Structure formats: structure tokens, C-alpha cells
Chain A
Amino acid sequence: MSRIGVFICHCGENISRTVDVEQVAAQAALMPGVAFAVDYKYMCSDPGQNLVKNAITEHRLTHVVVAACSPRMHERTFRKAVEQAGLNPFLCEMANIREHCSWVHEDREEATDKAIEIVGMLVERVKKNRVLPTITVPVTKRALVIGGGIAGIQAALDIADAGHQVVLVEREPSIGGHMAQLSETFPTLDCSQCIMTPKMVDVANHPNITLHTYSEIEQVDGYIGNFQITVRKKARSVDEHKCTGCGVCMTKCPQKKIPNSFDCNLGTRTAIYVPFPQAVPNVPVIDRENCTMFKSGKCGVCQKACGPGAVDFEQQDQLIVEPVGAIVVSTGFELYRITEKTKGSPIKGYGEFGHGKIPDVIDGMTFERLASASGPTGGKIQRPSDGKEPKQVVFIQCVGSRSREKGISYCSKVCCMYTAKHTMLYHHKVHDGQAYVFFMDARVPGKSYDEFWRRAIEDEEAVYIRGMVSRLYQKGDKIVVMGSDISVGVQVEIEADLVVLATAVQPQKGADLLAQKLGISYDKYNFYSEAHAKLRPVECATAGIYLAGACQGPKDIPDTVSQASAAAAKVMTLFAKDKLEREPIVARVKESGCVGCFACKKVCAYGAIEEKEIRDRQGNLVKVVAYVNPGVCAGCGTCQATCPSKSVELDGYTDEQIVAMIEAL
């Protein structure tokens, strides 16, 4: 027989103004199973909580219903209080008579009736509540970082410096990401390589960091504190342990004309290559598609040239399983390509800009490579078609971005600033050149940003034209830029030698596939979604997974680094405990009823449901049933509503509890 205590709060006057709390208490006292009912001015206050605790002991209460505000507000408070009085916290429920009653109804009689009914429902429900033990799971204090751009590098270093092991997985042959490609960086114009490469070297040398480059995530199993990650280490064809990084192989390779994507295809590389001289690790990789040995079975020049015998044409992909407790996703971005409409994506392409067919129309990243001292031109601004120094350069902002028609409605955030930077770099290098910028607005909030942008106009004489470009076409060796200056309302036509497009920042290709492996959510553009835009900006809704950098939304370096350090801090918070406590609202299978149809397994978005064999004493297989891993289960209850034999049940939301509430109506 249950002895329920009902505690009705006045919430100052917030409830008692419209709800007759004394009457609710009087009615509650008459409900079957209720042993004690009382109202009080502020139930959540210290004396209020003590009232609950004392009543539990005094009246030997078995269950508690607190009729007050929303459980989203104070369920935790009261469950803790109840626990302190020796009851299982899950034997306490809240009846929401404030947000759902006193605040939304004016009629005192109606509101009081409704409050009584709400209390009645919760009284019936709480009778069916079961004691639920808190679930604790062990934590593997080892982190996985996916993507080795500045975000991943920063997060990995922070976590490693805190004394934890980190596994860093990078898809490309070297870490560094886009920042390694940049020439100089706003707002200070310091050289990107100079601030980036020392960090890359720190990663390589850190005793706590295991680096897997040229590798991808194959499979993700497990849950917060206990993930098992299968990493595919793609065959590099060069033994990382034997290679000394001398680079002799690259000087001998006969394939010398392969466009180097690190240089935005401006320069060339060999088939055995490192993407750039400061690559980490400094170990070449053979691009099997372009290697003569792989194409025709003859060559092997690099192998003969390699002193330590590191070249290995037979090398296979390797699958490595890494146990980790937390994951930081930092896969960054790529740039919108104007060339054509991308299949299956909302992106439309720019026919009016020649669909990428005019060689001297380049994107911002290509300009970075042109301006970079370590780039293919040694930092000289030369246009791709004929190597001439351009005297008139037109920069166009918001290409793709902020344009619903082109398929992207968001702002890419970094283009205003890097275009201003480009005009400065250009002017520093080509003193008699003129830069023009077509822009919609200048969005340059950020420390020292507005000053920087003004400098481009005031000191570096860039001409800013507010308006859009409607068409680009080749005329002789010039590109005609047709646009409008909306501030004065005239058409403008500029004959340019080079056009630089600030194309939109988009998530990496395949970002959605990685998200599906990880079980994290993403928006319609494939940017990964944080758990809460304001209050949980670096956590995913999936426990134990955190976000850093441009994979979550367009970001500049300062924001990327801040988010990466924040994600690292979250990981360290998780690692500060040996065991993790979590709410025991998880599903459980009643094995006797389970028919092994696994309808539940199909609907579980978390992969929490496994197949379990039941054997008799002789070891013969009796049947295969579903098993819910309580560490993985997120507690949505979708399996329960799906199970045809009603054999899986979500603790805290059992059919019994819900039907009890309905029947109380």
C-alpha cells in the first residue's frame, strides 16, 4: 500500500492567485493512497524542502508528488530532497500547476479544478513508479579528435597537455587544414605558416598524441565514456617508421606534372609527394592513381632511391580500433565551387560567371596561395593564365553566401575580412595596381576588425563598390566585370586582369556521412548542430561528442581556436571523473515476451539495441532476444511504442504509468 505525500506550492502568489491551493490540498488528501497533503508558500525554499523531508520520515511516505512549477524547473531539486530523506529519487513526481495552469487560466474555479485533476493524474502515476538505480558507466580517459585543422590541433594539444591520451585522425596526408594554406592572417597580418607550423610540430612530438594521417573513421561503436572507434589508415605506400623524410624519392619520381591541390592546382607535384614542405608528418604518400608503378607495373624509381627502404608498393589499408571516452569533431569546411550545380545539393552554380571556365577567375583560397611566400609563385601575384602581374583586380564578395537563389542563405562570416586582407596583400605587392571590391555590406564585428577593414579602404586605397556583379566574361586577355553600384545607382563595368571570388564556406563533402556514423545531428547545409545555440554551443546532443571549428558553422581562426579550447575543456570535465552518472531513464527488454523480431533495433537511432542469445543449461540456443545497452540508450522510448509484443519498456515511462494517468482522467 502506497503512502503518498502531496505538497502544493503557492509559489508566492504565482499559483495561489488563481488556484485555491488549500482546496487542492484538501482534495488531494482524499485521493486513494495519499497519506499526507499540505500547501506551503515556497516549496523549493530551504524550509519548503525540509517540510518535504520531514514529512517523509514523520508520515513514513513511500512516494511524493510536488504540485508546483514545471518539472523542467525543479524536478531535480525535489528529487534530490527526496533522496536525502532516504527515498529513491524516482519515486517523486512533479505536477505542473503553474506554467500549465495558474499562469494560463484566469478563472479561479476552472484553474482549481484543473490543478486538482493534474495532481490526481500524478498521484496515480507515482504509484506505478519503480525504484530506479542511478546508472554509472566507466570513463575511458582517452579522446578522439577528428580533423587536424587548427581546430583539431588546438583541441588535441589542450587535452594532451592536461595529461590525457589523444588520438588525432586526419583524412589528408598532413595535418594543418586550411590555415596551413593561408598566406597572412587578419586582423594582424601575421604569417599563417609561422604561427601554424610550430603547433603542427608540437602535435607530432607530443608524447600523449597518437596521429593517424591519411586516415578516416570507418566505424563508431559505443557511447559516452566508452566509444570504440575503427580507423581506416589508408595505404600510404611508404612505411612511416622507416621514412626519414629526406625527400629523395620525390626528386626522382618521373611523374612531375600532377596538379597540387594544396596549391589550389596552381603548382604541380610528383606522384610520391608531401602536400607542402612543412607537412606533419613529413612522410610522403604515393598517389596511386597517378603513380607509374601502379598504372603500368613498371617504374619503382622511388623505391630504388629510398635509402632506408621505406617505399612499399604492397602496403594495404589498415583497420585500427581505438577505445576512447570522448570525441571532438573538427572536420572544417570547404569552399563553394561556382563550376556547376552539384548533384543532390541545393547549390546552383554561377553560369553568369562562366561556371569556372575563365582561368583568371579564382577563389579566395587560390589568392592565398598566390600571395603566400611558400606558394607556387613564391608570393608573387601572377595570374594563372599567362603569369602576368594583374594591374586591375576585382574582388567579389558573397559568392554563394546570403543568396537563397544560389542555395545558401547564411553569411560565410570570414569573407569580408579576408577580402579586405587580400586587397592589402595585393597593394603591398603590386604598388601600381588597383583593387576593386563588390560587396553587399561589410560585416566586420570583432576585435580590431572594423579598424582593419577601414585600413584597406583608407590606407590601401581599395575601391569598395556596394552592389552585385551580374556578369563576367572574357574579352581578349581581360575579364569584363559588369555590375551595379547601388549607392549611386549606376551600372559599372571594369576591365579586370584577375577576378577573385569570395565563395561561400560550406561543410566538407561527406560531413553528413560522418555525422551518421557518429549519430550526431546536422542542419540542412550539413553543418553539425550544437546541443543548444547559446548555452551548449560546443556539445552535440549526443553525449560525449563535442564540436570545434568551421564544421559547426563558418568561423575565423580566433573563434575556431576558442571553440576548440572550449571543447577540450568539456572533454577534461568529463575525464575529471572515473565514473559517469546518468539518469536511469533507459529501455529494458522483458526477455520472456520478446519474439526476436528486432523491430526495436531498426527504429533505435542510437544503436542501443543488440541481439542476445539465450541458452539453456546445456548450452543449446533457446532464442535470440533484444538487449538494450543502458550506456547507449538515450531514453526516447521509440522502441517501446514499436515493439509488437510489448516486450521492451522504458523505465520512468512504462505503459503502466501512462495508462494510470489516462485512467485518472
Chain B
Amino acid sequence: MHSEKPKHDFEPKIIAFVCTWCTYAGADLAGTSRMQYPSNVRVLKFPCTGRIDPVFILKAFQQGADGILVSGCHPGDCHYIAGNYHARRRFAVFRKLLEFIGVDLNRIQFSWVSAAEGGKWVEVVTDLTERVRAMGPMVEFKDLVLEEQWSGNLNNPELQAVYEAM
């Protein structure tokens, strides 16, 4: 189906932070079902979305990611009872910070993909890739890092403030 695939000028780097029980398994299912999706995504596996520290997102942007996906079990289905609720609350606050520092929130996608939703995984990844491809490379944050010499240090005052808000 991709045999006549158009080549693009810009291929975004997409990083996906996913929990092992639902979304990772959902992505596995997409594989076993031989579904096709853009190869831009790199998957980082976590036990649970509860483990995903917002700092990883900053770190990924700093490392050249153009788009980021955070995905885990549907509300109520977390393998660890409530990890995804904590994650949801955490990212709700974190989005504000990102917006404040000038990151276009369209570069970040939060979603729930269950172990049974291979198709949804494909959809989410494809949509995000296409959206970010259209947006072009992510520069704002890299500039910011240069300007302010952000060290990627995990406990600087700004982040402290965010943690407290959570």
C-alpha cells in the first residue's frame, strides 16, 4: 500500500512513551496484525504511565524530538490500579508549563490505547506523525535550551514549581 509512497522533505522524529501493559501491547498487536504505519516513531517502554516523568518529554525535545506521544491504559484499566490517573493529573499541569515556555501543544499527544487496540495505535501514530510533519521541525525548544543553558537537570527551580503544583 505504501509502494508508491511519496518522499517528504522533512521526516519528524516522534518519541512515544508508553506503558507496557496496554499501549506497548497494543503496538505489538498492530505488528502481529501486520498493520502499516510511518516508521518515524521510537517507542520507550515503561511499566506504567505513572512512571513517566514530564522531564523525559523536555529531555526528548532537547534531544531533537519533533513530536511526542504519551499513551497508556484507558482510565480504570491501569494495571497498577491508578498510575494513569496520576499521570493524567501530572500532564494536565505539565501542559501548562510547556505552553508557557512556548511549546506548541500540537506536538504532544496524550492518549489511551489498550492492548486490544492495534488499530488505534496505528491511527494515533499516523495522525501525530502527519501533523508534526506539517508543522516542520521543532526549533523553539532547542533555541531555548541554548539561550538559557538549560542543563536538563532534573531538579531545577522551575520544575520544582511544577511538582509542587501537582
Q: Which residues of A contact B59 (CB under 8 A)?
A: 659, 662-663
Q: In the complex, which range does the number of interface residues on chain B fall in?
A: 35 or more
Question: Do A655 and B154 have beta carbons less than 8 Å apart?
Answer: yes
- Which of B34, B51, B81, B83 meets A521, CB within 8 Å? B81
- B149 interfacial contact with A, CB 8 Å: no
- B10 interfacial contact with A, CB 8 Å: no
- Which of A71, A104, A641 meets B34, CB within 8 Å? A104
Q: How far is the CA of A305 from the CA of B1 in the complex (A)?
A: 89
- B69 interfacial contact with A, CB 8 Å: no
Q: How far is the CA of A104 from the CA of B54 in the complex (A)?
A: 28
Residue of B with least CB distance to A661 = B44
- B106 interfacial contact with A, CB 8 Å: no
Question: Do B31 and A635 have beta carbons less than 8 Å apart?
Answer: no
- The stretch among B21-29, B128-136, B139-147 that forms the contact with chain A is B21-29
Residues in B137-166 with C-beta less than 8 Å from chain A: 154-155, 160, 163-164, 166
Q: Which residues of A contact B46 (CB under 8 A)?
A: 637, 653, 658
- B110 interfacial contact with A, CB 8 Å: no
Q: Which residues of B contact A640 (CB under 8 A)?
A: 51, 53
- B42 interfacial contact with A, CB 8 Å: yes
Residue of A with least CB distance to B82 = A605
Among A104, A111, A663, max chain B CB count under 10 A is at A104
- A636 interfacial contact with B, CB 8 Å: yes
In the assembled complex, the CB of A378 is this many whole angstroms from the nearest CB of chain B, namely 48
Question: Do A646 and B155 have beta carbons less than 8 Å apart?
Answer: yes
Residues in A113-129 with C-beta less than 8 Å from chain B: 113-114, 117-118, 121
- The stretch among A92-100, A231-239, A393-401, A556-564 that forms the contact with chain B is A92-100
Q: Indicate with 1 or 0, residue by residue over A449-477, a CB within 8 angstroms of chain B CB atoms.
A: 00000000000000000000000000000
- A541 interfacial contact with B, CB 8 Å: yes
Question: Do A637 and B47 have beta carbons less than 8 Å apart?
Answer: yes
In the assembled complex, the CB of B4 is this many whole angstroms from the nearest CB of chain A, namely 11
Known contacts A99-B27, A104-B34, A605-B81; is A665 also within 8 Å of B42 by CB?
yes
- A519 interfacial contact with B, CB 8 Å: yes
Known contacts A100-B43, A642-B86; is A662 also within 8 Å of B56 by CB?
yes
Question: Do A519 and B64 have beta carbons less than 8 Å apart?
Answer: no
Q: How far is the CA of A642 from the CA of B51 in the complex (A)?
A: 8
- A650 interfacial contact with B, CB 8 Å: yes
Q: How far is the CA of A652 from the CA of B48 in the complex (A)?
A: 13
Question: Do B31 and A638 have beta carbons less than 8 Å apart?
Answer: no
Question: Do A662 and B47 have beta carbons less than 8 Å apart?
Answer: no
Q: Which residues of B contact A637 (CB under 8 A)?
A: 46-48, 50-51, 83
Q: How far is the CA of A468 from the CA of B123 in the complex (A)?
A: 42
Q: Which residues of B contact A118 (CB under 8 A)?
A: 42
In the assembled complex, the CB of A6 is this many whole angstroms from the nearest CB of chain B, namely 17
Q: How far is the CA of A74 from the CA of B133 in the complex (A)?
A: 34
Q: How far is the CA of A658 from the CA of B54 in the complex (A)?
A: 12
Question: Do A662 and B36 have beta carbons less than 8 Å apart?
Answer: no
- Which of A96, A111, A605 meets B39, CB within 8 Å? A111
- A355 interfacial contact with B, CB 8 Å: no
- B15 interfacial contact with A, CB 8 Å: yes
Among B24, B28, B44, max chain A CB count under 10 A is at B28
Known contacts A637-B47, A641-B90, A644-B155; is A104 also within 8 Å of B35 by CB?
yes
Residues in B71-95 with C-beta less than 8 Å from chain A: 76, 79-83, 86-87, 90
- Which of A111, A585, A642 meets B166, CB within 8 Å? A642
Q: Which residues of B contact A110 (CB under 8 A)?
A: 39
Question: Do B81 and A641 have beta carbons less than 8 Å apart?
Answer: no
Question: Do A641 and B13 have beta carbons less than 8 Å apart?
Answer: no
Residues in A621-665 with C-beta less than 8 Å from chain B: 634-638, 640-642, 644-646, 650, 652-653, 655, 658-659, 661-663, 665
Known contacts A72-B25, A100-B31, A663-B63; is A638 also within 8 Å of B44 by CB?
no
- B113 interfacial contact with A, CB 8 Å: no
Question: Do B39 and A646 have beta carbons less than 8 Å apart?
Answer: no
- Which of B32, B47, B54, B64 meets A653, CB within 8 Å? B47
In the assembled complex, the CB of B158 is this many whole angstroms from the nearest CB of chain A, namely 13
Question: Do A103 and B32 have beta carbons less than 8 Å apart?
Answer: yes
In the assembled complex, the CB of B123 is this many whole angstroms from the nearest CB of chain A, namely 13
Q: Which residues of A contact B15 (CB under 8 A)?
A: 662, 665
Q: Which residues of A contact B24 (CB under 8 A)?
A: 70, 72
Question: Do B64 and A665 have beta carbons less than 8 Å apart?
Answer: yes
Residue of B with least CB distance to A663 = B63
Q: How far is the CA of A265 from the CA of B23 in the complex (A)?
A: 51
Question: Do B42 and A638 have beta carbons less than 8 Å apart?
Answer: no
- Which of B31, B44, B65, B80 meets A70, CB within 8 Å? B31
In the assembled complex, the CB of B66 is this many whole angstroms from the nearest CB of chain A, namely 11
Q: Indicate with 1 or 0, residue by residue over A37-73, a CB within 8 angstroms of chain B CB atoms.
A: 0000000000000000000000000000000001110
Among B51, B53, B56, max chain A CB count under 10 A is at B51
- B30 interfacial contact with A, CB 8 Å: yes
Question: Do B2 and A107 have beta carbons less than 8 Å apart?
Answer: yes
Given A637-B47, A655-B154; 16 other pairs, CB 8 A cutoff: A71-B45, A72-B24, A100-B28, A103-B32, A104-B30, A114-B39, A605-B81, A636-B80, A638-B87, A642-B90, A644-B160, A645-B155, A650-B47, A655-B53, A662-B15, A662-B44
Q: Can you show 13 pairs from A to B with CB atoms below 8 A apart?
A: A71-B45, A99-B28, A100-B27, A103-B34, A104-B30, A105-B36, A105-B37, A603-B82, A605-B80, A606-B81, A637-B50, A642-B166, A650-B47
Binding site for B on A (CB under 8 A): 70-72, 96, 98-101, 103-107, 110-111, 113-114, 117-118, 121, 519, 521, 524, 541, 585, 603, 605-606, 634-638, 640-642, 644-646, 650, 652-653, 655, 658-659, 661-663, 665
For the complex of A and B, list the 4 residue pairs with the smallest distance between their C-beta atoms, beginning with the closest: A637-B51, A99-B31, A638-B50, A636-B80
